[in-house]
Amino acid sequence: MPRLPLVLLVAFAPLVPFAAGAQMPGGPPAVGVVRVQQRPITETEEFVGRIQAVNRVDLTARVTGFVQGKLFDEGAEVQAGDLLYRLERGPFEAAVAQQQAAVAQNTALLTNATIQLNRTLALLNTPAGQRSTVDDAKAQQASMAAQLMSAQAQLRMAEINLDYTEIRAPIAGKIGLSTYSVGNVVSPSSGSLARIVSQDPMNVLFPMAARSQIEISKRYADRGGMAAVEIRLRLPDGSVYDRTGKVDFIDTTVSPSTDTILVRGKIANPAIRPGERALTDGEFVGVTLAGIQPVMALAVPRAAVLSDQQGSYVYVIDKDNKAEQRRVSLGQSTPELAVLASGVAEREMVVLEGLQRVRPGALVVPGPAAPPPRVPGNAAAPGAAKQ
């Protein structure tokens, strides 16, 4: 039986699963191929941002006095209303007692003035009564009433100052270093005693190009604009934070020097364990804006895309099983998938495995590429958009 030409054997070779390192003995190399097809892609943009506490409070003294007690651990989380500092109370308790006495005195004087007024009114229609006497009694009563109101106001102020000897947390959060220790004299001019920063949720602020902000807003205009994207964070150690956030503020002014606009998002920061949380006020993080719904785009595994000085390219297998080097332009991509904006058509076959043995115009033996290994419980982390 006559032998068929080699080229015919190649043309009719069946598509068999590709095995790494496989090669036809003395013939064209075997390669693993994938088909260009529409795949769901989550569009992303990545920026550098900074974590910022939603609330930040500097504790200050409202009255002058000695610090008698510091009732917190530096670096601990406190709750709103917790007692943090206690100042000496003696002088302020004495001031309250003094004003209470003044109130009692003026109450008695007002009572007497009222009695005198009633007496002169009773005598007004008798031969002993005089209009001038009634007028004087009314004026005296009004004066005593005013003095009583003043004494009551001074008593209230003394009670407020007494309350100021106990400095409590106005918000919940983590408290920092104490500037003053027990025994120091503090006053309203002493500055901050300690700072409290709120912990949950946190803000993340990042600048983004004004053009990018407009493009995202238009892309998701029918779903709320910037409110339709999710915020994902990459922590300083490279790990991906397991919570997502939302944009809640866009600045009103574009920076004239950088053409960027400040964007703020809000993201949960629950406790990992008592006193420990993933996000810290002031730290730098990677910020990824991701669309809430994937879009369909022509894509192949990123490993199928090669690059050189002229740009990105893939090897396309034609109907004669020849490899053609095809220049492509990439769209919004992820670490796993490369979006092919131009250069290839849907359902064309692209080489994924065995690329080192492929040359432009060379014959190959194509076969389905092996599926990527699946690692249970290890989902792919969201990546930055790449061009």
Say if 140 falls within a structural domain.
yes
CA distances from 262 to 231, 266, 267 (A): 14, 14, 16
Specify the 3-state DSSP secondary structure of 286.
strand
pTM, full prediction: 0.64
Say if 239 falls within a structural domain.
yes
Say if 17 falls within a structural domain.
yes
Amino acid at 274: P
Domain end residue (candidates: 111, 136, 163)? 163
Domain end residue (candidates: 291, 318, 344)? 291
Specify the 3-state DSSP secondary structure of 284.
strand
Domain end residue (candidates: 291, 320, 347)? 291
CATH number at residue 100: 1.10.287
- The residue segments making up the domain with residue 216 are 45-54+201-291
Looking at the fold, whether 121 and 150 belong to one and the same domain comes out as yes
Looking at the fold, whether 111 and 131 belong to one and the same domain comes out as yes
Q: How many domains does the chain have?
A: 3
Q: Two tokens at 192?
A: 């901050």
Say if 174 falls within a structural domain.
no
Looking at the fold, whether 302 and 360 belong to one and the same domain comes out as yes
**Contact assessment for residue 258 and residue 266, using Cβ atoms and an 8 Å cutoff:** no
Say if 110 falls within a structural domain.
yes
Average pLDDT of the residues in 149-173: 94
Distance of alpha carbon 71 from the chain centroid: 31
Q: For residue 147, count other CB atoms closer than 10 A to its CB.
A: 18
* 49-58, 327-336, 361-370: the lowest-pLDDT one: 327-336
* 131-145, 202-216, 309-323: the lowest-pLDDT one: 131-145
**Contact assessment for residue 165 and residue 87, using Cβ atoms and an 8 Å cutoff:** yes
CATH number at residue 24: 2.40.420.20
Looking at the fold, whether 206 and 240 belong to one and the same domain comes out as yes
Say if 190 falls within a structural domain.
no
pLDDT in tens, 292-329: 666 777 888 888 889 888 889 999 988 888 888 889 88
Rounded CA-CA distance 383/256 in Å is 30
DSSP assignment of 80-148 equals TT-EEEEE--HHHHHHHHHHHHHHHHHHHHHHHHHHHHHHHHHHTTSTT--HHHHHHHHHHHHHHHHHH
Dihedral pair phi/psi, residue 310, rounded to 5°: -90, -10
Say if 71 falls within a structural domain.
no
Say if 195 falls within a structural domain.
no
- Candidate ranges 117-121, 130-134, 318-322; pick with highest mean pLDDT: 318-322
